[in-house]
Amino acid sequence: MQVHEVNLQGCVIDDPLLGQYQALVRDVVIPYQWAALNDQIPEAEPSHAIDNFRIAAGQKEGTFYGMVFQDSDVAKWLEAVAWSLVQQPDPGLEKTADEVIALIAAAQQADGYLNTWFTVKAPEQRWSNLAECHELYCAGHLIEAGVAWFGATGKRQLLEIVCKLADHIDQMFGPEPDQLQGYPGHPEIELALVRLYEVTQEQRYLQLARFFVEQRGAQPHYYDIESDRRGGSYFWPVHGPAWMIKDKAYSQAHLPLAQQNTATGHAVRFVYLLAGVAHLARLCGDEEKRQTCVRLWQNMVERQLYITGGIGAQSHGESFSTDYDLPNDTAYAESCASVGLMMFARRMIELEGESHYADVMEKALYNTVLGGMALDGKHYFYVNPLEVHPATLASNHIHDHVKPVRQRWFGCACCPPNIARLLTSLGHYIYTRRDDVVLVNLYVGNVTTLGDLRLHLHGNYPQQENIRIVIEAAPDAPRGIALRIPDWCSNATWTVNGDELSGEHIKGYVHLRRVWRAGDEISLHLPMAVRRVYGHPQLRHVAGKVAVQRGPLVYCLEQADNGPALHNLRLPPDSVFGQLAGEGALAGLVLLQAKGLKHARPSHTALYAYDTTPQTTPVSLIFIPWFAWANRGEGEMCVWVREH
Amino acid sequence: MQVHEVNLQGCVIDDPLLGQYQALVRDVVIPYQWAALNDQIPEAEPSHAIDNFRIAAGQKEGTFYGMVFQDSDVAKWLEAVAWSLVQQPDPGLEKTADEVIALIAAAQQADGYLNTWFTVKAPEQRWSNLAECHELYCAGHLIEAGVAWFGATGKRQLLEIVCKLADHIDQMFGPEPDQLQGYPGHPEIELALVRLYEVTQEQRYLQLARFFVEQRGAQPHYYDIESDRRGGSYFWPVHGPAWMIKDKAYSQAHLPLAQQNTATGHAVRFVYLLAGVAHLARLCGDEEKRQTCVRLWQNMVERQLYITGGIGAQSHGESFSTDYDLPNDTAYAESCASVGLMMFARRMIELEGESHYADVMEKALYNTVLGGMALDGKHYFYVNPLEVHPATLASNHIHDHVKPVRQRWFGCACCPPNIARLLTSLGHYIYTRRDDVVLVNLYVGNVTTLGDLRLHLHGNYPQQENIRIVIEAAPDAPRGIALRIPDWCSNATWTVNGDELSGEHIKGYVHLRRVWRAGDEISLHLPMAVRRVYGHPQLRHVAGKVAVQRGPLVYCLEQADNGPALHNLRLPPDSVFGQLAGEGALAGLVLLQAKGLKHARPSHTALYAYDTTPQTTPVSLIFIPWFAWANRGEGEMCVWVREH
């Protein structure tokens, strides 16, 4: 079975919602982030990322500033620029990016090594602390950028830089006695090397990715070996001396992957790692790796996933908690983790051709990923809680990581460029080409060439229920177009040129197979009844509560519409939902309205009262798409509402 | 108005419940803690507290080990021993205590200074870091021990030691240019000095207490002044460099007390401080201080008090959060804080003669304070949550401070001896003598001489509803006996010698005033209907939930009786309560039984399900007194239950 990656050069997004986000990325995010990377935004935390490269290249005096992984912000920005230029050429921007690439080339060492922290601060310590110091992680992001820049522009310079870097890494790491048997504390290079292999067909890159994956968790443990070599020194004392080295589950290195059964540790590391493993499993036909991916995906999705597509229940270590522990108001649910979840999901679709992976991918995209960025493109959430009570955030330190409104930039600015590169490369997620079948995973409006097919997907998803796919070009041979039937839709209908056509139902997709002609039209109707969603009986943080969903969008209550003390609101089981058109910041969105009850004990000064009868006031509840919360100032928000 | 402290030499507790706790303190806790202070308990965290005194006294080689305030554990143990010897003489124990006192004397420096940490580790740094280093706090506990030892045994040695210490402090601190204008980071010495004044009638001690209280929060800030003198060094880097010095609200030193309006910062510090202020307010007739106490008490009790009498909603800084922020499963609610709350409450009763202070005192005693110690006397809770889900404690770090079962000892062992000294000095809390009126605050069985009255209070409170007070001796003049009518009881009745007698209702007490004769008997009936308790509408963590109370006891559900997944249980509004006799570890306690519902969605592997109908199973719910939770192994527990 052959999977062909969608060529983004042949993909134009014209979706009302996501097209607008792409325009935002192009017009606002990329310039804004460029300014941020150059420390030109006075009120934001400094980045220094470009200056770090200048200093490493010897073009500027000074010292490194920022996180040990600061380079990756530049790489992710370049990736976003690459995919954005495909959507809309911009010679000025391309020139800027070329200059950045030249700067990166200048910062690369003669042997191929490339990392500004080590080059500037401690060249003699290269590759001595993989557990903590993110060299391979940064290399991975640079490789992804190189692959993207080549794919978007056809220019080879950055690709050559990263091949030289990958060659250097391939020399340093491997099973031979004169090589290091290590692997990254923060996975990323695995998935990047596999992508580099796909572009270059260089088998060594595939082998190196396998080496990193298969070496993981081997005993004696490499983190300890390198720690001993360093005399026990460590880099991050955040949770005590050497905690990142000791807590091996934090980086999914406590056991070989084949022996791991639960999503654990730092959520971003987990999904980045598994994205690479899933890709490897497919390319190598490796059944053990496939089973590992299926098993760990299952634990994550069936026991540790927020309804919003967020993962990582706690701030400590930005990590998973344990089965069924998903608190709402102390959630971490990092934006980057949901970007990584989409990357993992995409590769699982490629591997398995099953729609439930796309269901989760869609959930993450339309809720946490979109929610991570403000509708102005200039403010971001790093943390995505499902309930916020601003008045107590500053007083109770269990909420220290939670912000009630999006921030302009972060000292650790991983999320904004990650969202940007995801939104500019949506074509990779919309379609999956497996042999001669095109799986339609997401109903984002677009025109895309998929080999010898060209499809134009029309619609205004997920605001509207109808999707049309017009075949603009097709070969004179049968091809499969497979429509994903979303898990939230129980009564989808479709026609081809007006005729009902049942198609073949395979793994959650309706496969329509025929010789297509230009002008053929598939029409898909996905009724978006408002659904009440309930948690698994073990999910104690939502017991007795209901969430509201329409299409893939999870809704929430905000103080802006419903007043304060949201905890006193109830959505009775028999309340019927009406629709409202959003206005102002929420223009273009479908809001929901339902009869609710405000349920409160009579006002009393005593903190506790005996045997009082509650007062119940009828109220009109307004629900808005959760991804759009906190765009109208600071206020309370909650996803889960009491029913009784 | 004259308040006479109850002389514990004339007070014998014969209460079934608390008498048993006193026996436990005598027979188990005091010997156990003595062993702990001497590091003779292999599996417990070491204390080294006695050895610290030996080393400071030059009787042993070695270095200090333990907290900077380790001395206070010895002081609190001595205080518990003192009050315990009053209940039951024990020549062996008294000899041991006399030896400890001799050791303390030996550790005292020629100028009166007494603190083993500084004497052993850094004598030149004495009094240089009041904000962080607890010298005045430890002095306060030693003073309290000296007052107790004198009151219990009539022996003056420890009293003389602490007077010498207080004299030294009085020389060092004060308004004169050659004195230090500082005050303790951790209050305690204020309340201790006032008690020392009461025993010695030495005005200087009262003045010094006032100085410490009135100096608090003055600008320029003393913490900064002394920090500058030290060149900016700091002691506790727990939450970042110098956080304890910078976060002045943490020790209630951000403003002069007269300008403070909310209970804030470290909860134990807050109540210790206010106990001293309330005592001062009464002795000095200081209206501003009285208003400060009333105002801050009100904020604490009306906005920041757990239903269990716990205070301090968060682990960070063991501190208050803000108004109406009382999460159940991340609560801190330190045992010591509730002991301190009783101390503050007792002084407010003495100051104001109002029963609502005693209501809170009773709540703290019968719930958090008793709950802090296991029924075996050997295990303790430092933290007292209202909801525990053991399976997730280890995985989600927001619960790092929570233990699902009581622990044998603590590295910071403030709570066990604090509970012990409270339980042995109950007479101070049961009665308040104001002029010729005896306020009966607590219905603990006892025989006590109160000036020229001797009362014998019979009952088995709070298991049973009837209390008899027999007058065993009385003068030939009218005396008032004032019965507290608890806030949880709406239909109390009482008779004197069988006759109904309305008495005078003053501030929540029924004042019965007459010439009493030996043999007179007051009978009080406090019907203990099971009460449903509801939170204030702003208390979002208990919205839609109910707590169950009988008498002063708050009840809870435990997994031992109700199975796992307590969050799926409901107590419908119309369920009637029956009583059950506790068995095994719960023998002697009244358990409650009610019809409940187990309310869960059908079992499904998906984490979220659409539009499912819940399954409801009738179940029999068993509630046990919350203070007795976790005496039958590890399991889930919750106080607040859904009603609908």
Beta-carbon contacts of A513 under 8 Å, excluding residues fewer than 6 positions away, are A437, A478, A479, A480, A481, A503, A504
Residue among B448, B550, B483, B470 nearest B517 (CA): B470
CA-to-CA separations, A112 to A109, A116, A163, A177, B149, in angstroms, rounded? 5, 13, 9, 21, 77
Distance CA A279, CA A140 (A): 15
| CB nearest to B534's CB, from A533, A538, A609 | A609
How confident is the model at residue B226, as a pLDDT? 97
| CB nearest to A321's CB, from B302, B303, B392 | B392
B372: left (phi over 0), alpha (psi -120 to 50) or beta: alpha
Q: What is the pLDDT of residues A556-596, one digit of tens each?
A: 999 999 999 999 999 999 999 999 999 999 999 999 999 99
**Distance (Å) from the C-alpha of residue A52 to the closest C-alpha of chain B?**
28
Q: What is the pLDDT of residues B247-289, one digit of tens each?
A: 999 999 999 999 999 999 999 999 999 999 999 999 999 999 9
Question: Residue B337: phi, psi to the nearest 5?
Answer: -65, -35
Residue among B277, B544, B33, B3 nearest A597 (CA): B544
Beta-carbon contacts of A439 under 8 Å, excluding residues fewer than 6 positions away, are A349, A353, A358, A431, A432, A433, A482, A484, A509
Q: What is the pLDDT of residues A525-550, one digit of tens each?
A: 999 999 999 999 999 999 999 999 99
pLDDT band for A413, please (50, 70, 90 cuts).
Answer: low
Q: What is the pLDDT of residues B17-53, one digit of tens each?
A: 999 999 999 999 999 889 989 999 887 778 899 999 9
Per DSSP, the three-state class of A173 is: strand
Q: What is the pLDDT of residues B585-619, one digit of tens each?
A: 999 999 999 999 998 777 678 999 998 877 899 99
Mean pLDDT on A496-525: 96
- Residues on chain B touching A330 (C-beta within 8 angstroms): 330, 398
**B410 pLDDT more than 70:** no
Which of A530, A534, A640 is best to mutate for the B interface (most B CBs within 10 A)? A534
**B412 pLDDT more than 60:** no
**A415 pLDDT more than 80:** no
Nearest residue of B to residue A613, measured between CA atoms: B534
Q: Which of B414, B415, B489, B638 is catalytic?
A: B414
Q: With an 8 Å Cβ cutoff, are A540 and B389 in contact?
A: yes
Taken as a whole, chain B contains a residue count of 644
**Distance (Å) from the C-alpha of residue A63 to the closest C-alpha of chain B?**
25
**Distance (Å) from the C-alpha of residue A602 to the closest C-alpha of chain B?**
8
CA-to-CA separations, A447 to A4, A413, A472, B338, in angstroms, rounded? 17, 32, 9, 67
- Residue B332 is given by DSSP the state -
Is A236 exposed, middle or buried (CB count within 10 Å of its CB: 0-12, 13-18, 19+)? middle
Q: Are A31 and A602 in contact (CB under 8 A)?
A: no
Residue among B318, B336, B315, B313 nearest B416 (CA): B336
Q: Is the peptide bond before B462 cis (omega within 30 degrees of 0)?
A: yes
How confident is the model at residue B539, as a pLDDT? 96
Q: Is the peptide bond before A89 cis (omega within 30 degrees of 0)?
A: no
Q: Are B335 and B384 in contact (CB under 8 A)?
A: yes
| CB nearest to A396's CB, from B314, B536, B543 | B314
- Residues on chain A touching B530 (C-beta within 8 angstroms): none
The DSSP line for A38-86 is: TT--TTSPP--HHHHHHHHTTSS-S---S-TTTHHHHHHHHHHHHHHHH
Distance CA B318, CA B312 (A): 6
**A410 pLDDT more than 80:** no
Mean pLDDT on A599-603: 76
**Distance (Å) from the C-alpha of residue B500 to the closest C-alpha of chain A?**
27
Q: With an 8 Å Cβ cutoff, are A532 and B611 in contact?
A: yes
Mean pLDDT on A407-418: 72
**B242 pLDDT more than 90:** yes
Which of B363, B396, B553, B644 is best to mutate for the A interface (most A CBs within 10 A)? B396
More confident residue, A314 or A611: A314
Per DSSP, the three-state class of A108 is: coil
Across the beta sheet with A499-500, the strand order is A11-13, A446-450, A453-459, A466-473, A521-525, A493-496, A499-500
Residue among A466, A488, A485 nearest A554 (CA): A488
**B327 pLDDT more than 80:** yes
**Distance (Å) from the C-alpha of residue B567 to the closest C-alpha of chain A?**
6
Nearest residue of A to residue B401, measured between CA atoms: A398
pLDDT band for A251, please (50, 70, 90 cuts).
Answer: very high
| CB nearest to A607's CB, from B532, B539, B549 | B539
| CB nearest to A607's CB, from B301, B321, B614 | B301
Distance CA B490, CA B369 (A): 25
How confident is the model at residue A148, as a pLDDT? 98
How confident is the model at residue B46, as a pLDDT? 84
Q: For chain B, what is the largest distance between any 2 Cα atoms, rounded to a whole number of angstroms?
A: 79
Q: With an 8 Å Cβ cutoff, are B532 and A611 in contact?
A: yes
Q: What is the 3-state secondary structure (H, E, C) of B379-429?
A: CECCCCCCEECHHHHCCCHHHCCCCCCCECCCCCCCHHHHHHHHHHCCHHH
Domain ranges of chain A: 48-251, 256-387, 432-525, 530-642
How confident is the model at residue B413, as a pLDDT? 67
**A414 pLDDT more than 70:** no
How confident is the model at residue A221, as a pLDDT? 98
| CB nearest to B565's CB, from A316, A537, A644 | A537
Q: What is the pLDDT of residues B415-449, one digit of tens each?
A: 788 999 999 999 999 999 999 999 999 999 999 99
Question: Residue A547: phi, psi to the nearest 5?
Answer: -110, 160
Q: With an 8 Å Cβ cutoff, are B567 and A540 in contact?
A: yes
Nearest residue of A to residue B308, measured between CA atoms: A608
- Residue B46 is given by DSSP the state P
Angle at B131 between CA B127 and CA B137, to 5 degrees: 70
**Distance (Å) from the C-alpha of residue B101 to the closest C-alpha of chain A?**
39
Residue among A366, A421, A331, A359 nearest A142 (CA): A421
Q: Any idea which residue has 């004696």 for tokens? A: A220
Distance CA B205, CA B194 (A): 7
Distance CA A85, CA A548 (A): 37
Burial A358-381 (b: 16+ CB within 10 A, else e): bbbbbbbbbbbbbbbbbbebbbbb
**A495 pLDDT more than 70:** yes
Q: Are A106 and A59 in contact (CB under 8 A)?
A: yes
Q: Which of A138, A336, A414, A638 is catalytic?
A: A414
Q: Are A213 and A190 in contact (CB under 8 A)?
A: yes
How confident is the model at residue A302, as a pLDDT? 97
**B117 pLDDT more than 60:** yes
Q: With an 8 Å Cβ cutoff, are A536 and B608 in contact?
A: yes
Question: Residue A500: phi, psi to the nearest 5?
Answer: -70, 140
Q: With an 8 Å Cβ cutoff, are B599 and A327 in contact?
A: no
Q: With an 8 Å Cβ cutoff, are B537 and A398 in contact?
A: no
CA-to-CA separations, B473 to B7, B102, B428, B469, in angstroms, rounded? 16, 40, 20, 12
What is the number of H-type helices and E-type strands within chain A? 22, 24
Across chain A, mean pLDDT equals: 95
Q: With an 8 Å Cβ cutoff, are B396 and A327 in contact?
A: yes
How confident is the model at residue A517, as a pLDDT? 97
Q: With an 8 Å Cβ cutoff, are B322 and A396 in contact?
A: yes
For residue B391, give both structure tokens: 């399976």
Active site residue B638: no
How confident is the model at residue A411, as a pLDDT? 57
Amino acid making up residue B513: R
| CB nearest to A543's CB, from B531, B534, B567 | B567
Distance CA B455, CA B519 (A): 10
Amino acid making up residue A114: L
Amino acid making up residue A3: V
- Residues on chain B touching A398 (C-beta within 8 angstroms): 314-316, 327, 330, 398
Q: With an 8 Å Cβ cutoff, are A543 and B313 in contact?
A: no
Of the listed ranges A24-38, A544-558, B91-105, the one predicted with least confidence = A24-38
How confident is the model at residue A409, as a pLDDT? 61
Mean pLDDT on B512-520: 97
Of the listed ranges A442-451, A607-616, B475-484, the one predicted with least confidence = A607-616
The CATH number of A432-525 is 2.60.40
Burial B54-92 (b: 16+ CB within 10 A, else e): bbbbeeeeeebbbbbbbbbbbbbbbbbbbbbbbbeebee
Q: Are B367 and B554 in contact (CB under 8 A)?
A: yes
Distance CA A194, CA A200 (A): 10
Q: With an 8 Å Cβ cutoff, are A532 and B601 in contact?
A: no
Beta-carbon contacts of A464 under 8 Å, excluding residues fewer than 6 positions away, are none
pLDDT band for A408, please (50, 70, 90 cuts).
Answer: confident
Distance CA A178, CA B591 (A): 71
**Distance (Å) from the C-alpha of residue A528 to the closest C-alpha of chain B?**
13
Active site residue B414: yes
How confident is the model at residue A412, as a pLDDT? 56
**A206 pLDDT more than 80:** yes
- In a 13 Å sphere around the CA of A162, the CA atoms on its Cβ side amount to 32
Q: Are B83 and B152 in contact (CB under 8 A)?
A: yes
Q: With an 8 Å Cβ cutoff, are B302 and A610 in contact?
A: no
Q: Are A244 and A224 in contact (CB under 8 A)?
A: no
Residue among B548, B274, B509, B486 nearest B362 (CA): B486
